[in-house]
A and B are shown apart, each in its own frame.
Chain A
Amino acid sequence: MNWFDSWALTLVTFIPIVGMVVMLIIPRKEEYSIKVVALLTTVVTFGVSVAIAARFDYDAGGGLQFDVDKPWIDTISSRYHVGIDGISLPLLLLTTFITVACVIYSWNHFPKPHTPKAFLALILVLETGMVGTFIAQDLILFFVFFEIVLLPMFFMIGVWGGPNRSYASIKFFLFTMFGSAFMLLGFLAIFWQTGTFDIPELSAMAGDGIVGSTQNLIFAGLFLGFAIKVPMFPFHTWLPDAHTEAPTVGSVLLAAVLLKLGTYGFVRIALPVLPDAAIDWAPWLGLLAVIGIIYGALACLAQSDMKRLIAFSSVAHMGFVMLGIATLTDIGINAAVFGMVAHGLITGMLFFLAGSVGERYGTREMSRLGGLLTQTPRLGWILGFLAMASLGLPGLAGFWGEFPAILAAYNPLDALPLETFRSYMVIAAVGTVLAAGYLLWMLQRVAMGKVKPEFEQTDVHDINTAEWIAWSPILLFVLALGVYPDIIFGVTNDAVAQLTATAFGG
């Protein structure tokens, strides 16, 4: 199976594009064939990623596997270098998995204007960009994939979004583009200092050849690019607007995968390539992370729109992920990767629910909703289950992202100020209480109580088949990861240990 080893990652990245081209050839009237082609494409892509996971050597999760290194742009010494290690693999699977769920969910409710062909084509382009970012091992390749996701998401929000879509889409685009311009300058500066764009090579150097002050400047550039994408506290303002206006599937992909591109960038590039700067910056990263946790939670308590509340909860949850990264320890970074996957599943699923509720009632205003449990019990119970998962109840996936991150802040890397991080730990712990507060409050207002008079006569149907097929695997994973977190920790641990050992000397 040597053939598979050298082509698998290329296949998983570009099958969606091939599928999109096939789909574009089919005339617009043949809606059913278009949907089938899109579904097949994503299922095959997911299949390839599962095959990759099956052939992945878990004993050597620290090194690159399925490595391909071919010339791409010789003139600027940039190569088509792709490969995955234990950190990329879970995110790759998450991406291909969520995309299938999105296509199935869209099956019968395409948002207005009802144009499945264009909508599905955008999902497939997005998939290529997202998958490519997680497997790229060359800075320029990473940059190109990182940017590919912008246009489809821009159009998804702009064309299929809510009433304020035009503003939200342009805000999303300008914020991200502003950040990535500085990120690109950072990449160029790295090249200018070291003479290579190759990420493994740069990680092995662990910052040798770049003096401390320069590292700090370059880190600032990368920080802007990644922190806007995450988004971290002062750069988060695009997120609630984008989420509120985006169509359901757009919100799901945004929350489940797009935000992870930023945190992944920190783990894959910023920390290992610029370790000295990372140590200097870590207290500030941690500070912004805990501000994000508290700010996100407080903002949630002030929301009246269910979807906007979930959007702000993302700011808080990504704060935990960033806190884990900021500790620069094994435990913290493992927790961060786990947190990325868990947040992807749970919050992605919450956005599905918010979309379905909004579609059934025609509103997401929590003051008008209520009694979901009596009117549509299954929908109500799933919402309850996810609220528990999201607030970090042990036994469900959310717990293993938050708890170890808080634990890691108790004992950060030796070079970091201990007291500072212990105070962060206390603040983050308060954040979990607030999280329980706003999630239960949401649950109470939406699911419990009596159905409001205006909807008493409305015929609201419970979960339909497409929703069941799309959702049940996600719910299953939320439970499975919570009961047996080693599914992910076992994969990531070697890679994370090697990363911290090379970058920070263990």
Chain B
Amino acid sequence: MNPRFDFHALAPELILTGVILVVLVVDLFLDEEERWRTSRLASIGLLAALIPVITLAVDGNDRVMFGGAYVVDDYALVMKGFFLVAAWVTLLISFDYIGEGDYYQGEFYFLLLTSTLGMLVIASARDLITLFVALETISLPTFVLAAWRKHDPESNEAGLKYFLIGVLSSAVMLYGMSFVFGFSGSTLLSDISTTVSADGVAPLLLVGIFMTLVGFAFKVSAVPFHFWAPDTYEGAPTPVTAFLSVASKAGGLVAMLTLVYAGFFGRPEAWQPVLWVMAAASMTLGNLVALRQTNMVRLLAYSSIAQGGFMLVPFAVAPDGSGTAATSSFEAVVIYMLIYGAMNLGAFACVIAIARRTGSAELSSYNGLIKSSPALAVTFSLFLFSLAGIPPLAGWFAKFVMFRSVLDAGTTAAVVLGVIAAINSVVAFFYYAGVSRRMILEDPAEEQEPVLVPPALNAAIALTALTTLVVGVYPQLFAKLGEFAAGVG
């Protein structure tokens, strides 16, 4: 069979691949002090890749390729757009961090873009092999990126830990996939869906589904598969941490969405209880441990574990069948992901900006920040309160759609999970507000210089802050995207 090439549909991936190669080659011919130019190339490349995403969305036709293994539909396009923008913001917050430190520059951007390419592919993948290859394309560059501060043993530890856990989870996932393939005789999700929904499936198939999901659970650092995250987040360069906690996590979540909704949806008993436990455990453990952190990056690491738990809630309560409740839970995950991306990237951008003065992410160094840098302290507080879900900041709407999916489902299990989520929102407020209180209410230890924020970082903070505010006041912007993306083919 001759695969038909739809160049328009593949344009984002093709453009990004081209840019990756150009960045790699150009870097070879640049002098040491000219290396920063690669970063500009990379950022232009990401924006260029965004153009075909938009034209495809305007065109509106679903495009199916490679025998159904690769689909460009509305859902894929929304996620591709999200990944490209998230990667672009990550570039903005990396420029000065990478440029000023003693780091390789060209390679950094090369690896970041490669990982982004994997995300573009994973949004379209509708087949186990494609999903796996895309996931590895996302992961492999990030193993190296986590260890980027190569003279720092903590960074090495971060990379190694992440690598070992990543490889282990891939192995578990592949093993599970092999079961699923063995029973359905196909790697296509549409075929798997038919097999899974049929009556009287073998218990071993359920084990296969379980193991496949566990593999992705590592990726989204859901409890109890989270233990790599805090150490890796703390040791890795902070822009990489931002990337891991937003884009890479969303990559895993998108894969889970596709797998569950396009593949395993007909057999909720295979995945729903697992996801329920993971959601409840991630929220509770993430929040409780975050309460006790003294390092800002570790705090955000645990907060992102907890936020991941909130994102799993709509999955865990999604009812079978294709009624409105199923759509609303799908929408909820997508909307939560988009909003979380904006506010978490913003929070990390602020952490990086503040660390420029203090050189540390210890919470005590945040005391009295308002005295020296009022704007930064207020903006960071905005992100924190948004993460806590206080209106009129975008986070409230994310929490809102999550609770709505719980009530739409209406089962006892769903309501119990909803109550756990409600209690956790209040607990989470404690540590988010705690940081804000340090910045605004406490007195600084000594007289402090104002934080000097470079323009690129400033742009990243302004962009994410604006998104957080505008979406909070007019949530329809993202709600529309969620609605647009609802349903995976």
Say whether B422 faces chain A, with CB atoms less than 8 Å apart. yes
Residues of the A chain whose Cβ atoms lie less than 8 Å from the Cβ of B401: 76
Residues of the B chain whose Cβ atoms lie less than 8 Å from the Cβ of A170: 433, 437
Say whether B429 faces chain A, with CB atoms less than 8 Å apart. yes
Residues of the B chain whose Cβ atoms lie less than 8 Å from the Cβ of A148: 391-392
Which of B425, B479, B483 is the one whose CB lies under 8 Å from A181? B425
B392, B403, B479 pick with most chain A CB within 10 angstroms: B392
A471 to B425, CA, bound (A): 41
Q: Is the CB of A151 within 8 A of B400?
A: no
Residues of the B chain whose Cβ atoms lie less than 8 Å from the Cβ of A178: 426
Q: Is the CB of A192 within 8 A of B429?
A: no
Q: Is the CB of A150 within 8 A of B476?
A: no
Stretch at the interface among B146-154, B248-256, B273-281, B404-412: B404-412
Q: Is the CB of B483 within 8 A of A75?
A: yes
Say whether B210 faces chain A, with CB atoms less than 8 Å apart. no
Say whether A488 faces chain B, with CB atoms less than 8 Å apart. no
Say whether A158 faces chain B, with CB atoms less than 8 Å apart. yes
How many Å from the CB of A189 to the closest CB on chain B? 7
Say whether A15 faces chain B, with CB atoms less than 8 Å apart. no
Q: Is the CB of B407 within 8 A of A192?
A: yes
Q: Is the CB of B475 within 8 A of A73?
A: yes
With A75-B480, A173-B429, A192-B410 as contacts: A166 and B390 at CB distance below 8 Å: no
Q: Is the CB of B440 within 8 A of A75?
A: no
B391, B404, B429, B437 pick with most chain A CB within 10 angstroms: B391
Q: Is the CB of B441 within 8 A of A166?
A: yes
Number of B residues near A (Cβ < 8 Å) is 32
How many Å from the CB of B292 to the closest CB on chain A? 17
Residues of the A chain whose Cβ atoms lie less than 8 Å from the Cβ of B440: 155, 158-159
Residues of the B chain whose Cβ atoms lie less than 8 Å from the Cβ of A298: none
How many Å from the CB of B113 to the closest CB on chain A? 33
Which of B331, B397, B429, B437 is the one whose CB lies under 8 Å from A177? B429
A49 to B151, CA, bound (A): 65
| Interface of B, helix, strand, loop or mixed by DSSP | helix
A331 to B198, CA, bound (A): 65
Q: Is the CB of A185 within 8 A of B482?
A: no
1/0 contact string of B459-489 vs chain A (CB within 8 Å): 0000000000000001110011011000000
Say whether A143 faces chain B, with CB atoms less than 8 Å apart. yes
Residues of the A chain whose Cβ atoms lie less than 8 Å from the Cβ of B408: 192
How many Å from the CB of B156 to the closest CB on chain A? 40
Q: Report B194-243 residues with CB < 8 Å from chain A CB.
A: none
In the complex, which residue of chain B has the Cβ closest to the Cβ of A72? B476
Residues of the A chain whose Cβ atoms lie less than 8 Å from the Cβ of B397: 73
Q: Is the CB of A189 within 8 A of B441?
A: no
Q: Is the CB of A165 within 8 A of B441?
A: yes
1/0 contact string of A183-206 vs chain B (CB within 8 Å): 011001100100000000000000
Q: Is the CB of B396 within 8 A of A147?
A: yes
Say whether A234 faces chain B, with CB atoms less than 8 Å apart. no
How many Å from the CB of B485 to the closest CB on chain A? 12
1/0 contact string of A132-163 vs chain B (CB within 8 Å): 00000000100110011011001100110000
In the complex, which residue of chain A has the Cβ closest to the Cβ of B378? A118
A112 to B335, CA, bound (A): 42
Say whether B385 faces chain A, with CB atoms less than 8 Å apart. yes
Q: Is the CB of B479 within 8 A of A75?
A: yes
Which of A147, A150, A177 is the one whose CB lies under 8 Å from B426? A177
Q: Report B410-439 residues with CB < 8 Å from chain A CB.
A: 410, 418, 422, 425-426, 429-430, 433, 437
With A151-B385, A166-B441 as contacts: A73 and B479 at CB distance below 8 Å: yes
Q: Is the CB of B437 within 8 A of A184?
A: no
Say whether A59 faces chain B, with CB atoms less than 8 Å apart. no
Residues of the B chain whose Cβ atoms lie less than 8 Å from the Cβ of A430: none
How many Å from the CB of B5 to the closest CB on chain A? 36
How many Å from the CB of A133 to the closest CB on chain B? 12
Say whether A362 faces chain B, with CB atoms less than 8 Å apart. no
How many Å from the CB of B394 to the closest CB on chain A? 12
In the complex, which residue of chain A has the Cβ closest to the Cβ of B388? A177
Residues of the B chain whose Cβ atoms lie less than 8 Å from the Cβ of A177: 390, 426, 429
Say whether A71 faces chain B, with CB atoms less than 8 Å apart. yes
Which of A154, A166, A185 is the one whose CB lies under 8 Å from B422? A185
Q: Is the CB of B433 within 8 A of A76?
A: no
Can you give 15 contacting A-B residue pairs, CB < 8 Å?
A72-B476, A73-B479, A75-B479, A144-B396, A147-B392, A148-B391, A148-B392, A159-B440, A159-B441, A166-B441, A170-B437, A178-B426, A184-B403, A189-B407, A192-B407
